[in-house]
Amino acid sequence: MARLQSKPSTPTWFAIIKLLRWDKPEGRLILMIPALWAIVLAAQGKPSLGLVTIIITGSLATSAAGCVVNDLWDRNIDPQVQRTRKRPLADRSLTIRVGLAIAFLAFACAFGLSRFLNPLSFGLCVAAVPVIICYPLAKRVFPVPQLVLAIAWGFSVLISWSAAVGNLSLGAWLLWAATVLWTLGFDTIYAMPDRPDDRRLGINSSALFFGNYAEAAIACFLVATVICLGMLGYALNLHFGYWTSLGLSTYLWWRQIYRLRRKNLVPSAYGQLFRQNVWIGLLLLVGMITGSLLR
C-alpha cells in the first residue's frame, strides 16, 4: 500500500507574508486611508510625492509591526479561534524568535522613516508605539478594546497632518474624531463573528460589550462619523466633490446598518461588510482630493 504523504508545511516566506497580513491587503489599506486623508486635506490636495511615499511606507511598516505584536500576544489564544487558528504563530509555522525579529525590523523601518518627519510628527510616532503594543493586552483587561485600536488608528491622522503642515488645527482633530468613530464601527463589525469564541475564552470586544445592542452601537458610530466628516467639510470649505463622496458614503453606510439588522448573518457577511469600508474610505479620499483642489 502506498504511503500517504503528509500535507506539506507552509513555506517560511509565505508564512512571513501571512504574519504581516500582506496576503490580506484590505487591512493594510484601511489603516493607510486615514493617513492619506490627512495629508491630502492638510496640503490642500497637493501633498509632496516624498511625503506621500513616507506615509504609505510608514503605514505598511507600522501595520506590519502591529500585526506581529498582536499575534505574539495571542499565539496561545489564536489556535482556539476559528478565524485565527491558521495564523503562522498560532499553527507554529513560525517560531516566537522569528516573530520577535520581524516585529523589531518592522518597528525599525517605521522609526527610520519617522526621522524624515518634523519634530511634532516624530513625537506623535513615538507616542503611538505604546498604544500599538498594548492593544492586544487591552482585549484581556478593557471591555471595549476596539477603542484602543481606534486611538492607535487615529495617530495616523495626527502624524500625517502634522507632517504636512507642522501643526494640528481644528480640521486635524475633526478628522481624528471621524477616524476613531469609523474604526469603532468597522472593527465592531469585524469582531461580530468572533463572539462565541471570545465569550468562551474570556476575551473582551466591543461586539460582546454592546451585546444585543451591537448593531445599534455600530449605527451610532457611523452616524457620528458622518457628522464629524460633515463638520470637517464645512470647516475646510471643501468643494461640492467632497460632499458628493460623503453623500454616497453615507448611503453605503446606511445599507450596512440595514443589513446588520438581519438576524443570523453568516460569519462571512461580516467580513464582506468590513471590506466594503475600504472602498468607502477610498471613495472619501477621492472626494477629499477633488474637494480640496476645486475649492
Residue-wise pLDDT tens digits, 169-184: 999 999 999 999 999 9
Question: What is the per-residue pLDDT for 169?
Answer: 95
Nearest to 160 by CA among 36, 288, 289, 292: 36
Please tell me the distance from the alpha carbon of residue 183 to that of residue 278, in angstroms, as a whole number: 11
Q: Does residue 99 fall inside a structural domain?
A: yes
User: In the predicted model, is pLDDT for residue 262 greater than 60?
Assistant: yes
pTM score, whole prediction: 0.92
- CATH code assigned at 221: 1.10.357.140
Question: What is the per-residue pLDDT for 126?
Answer: 95
User: In the predicted model, is pLDDT for residue 78 greater than 90?
Assistant: no
Q: Does residue 279 fall inside a structural domain?
A: yes
Amino acid at the residue 243: W
User: In the predicted model, is pLDDT for residue 269 greater than 60?
Assistant: yes
Confidence of residue 270 (pLDDT cuts 50, 70, 90): very high
Question: What is the per-residue pLDDT for 8?
Answer: 44
Q: Does residue 31 fall inside a structural domain?
A: yes
In contact, 19 and 68? CB cutoff 8 Å: yes
Please tell me the distance from the alpha carbon of residue 7 to that of residue 27, in angstroms, as a whole number: 29
Q: Does residue 243 fall inside a structural domain?
A: yes
Question: What is the per-residue pLDDT for 9?
Answer: 67
Average of per-residue pLDDT across 80-86 = 85
Question: What is the per-residue pLDDT for 1?
Answer: 39
Q: Structural domain of residue 266, as residue ranges?
A: 25-293
Q: In the chain, how many domains are there?
A: 1
Nearest to 149 by CA among 257, 20, 34, 285: 34
Question: What share of the chain in percent tops pLDDT 90?
Answer: 75
Q: Does residue 5 fall inside a structural domain?
A: no
Q: Does residue 8 fall inside a structural domain?
A: no
Q: Does residue 202 fall inside a structural domain?
A: yes
Nearest to 105 by CA among 47, 192, 20, 15: 20
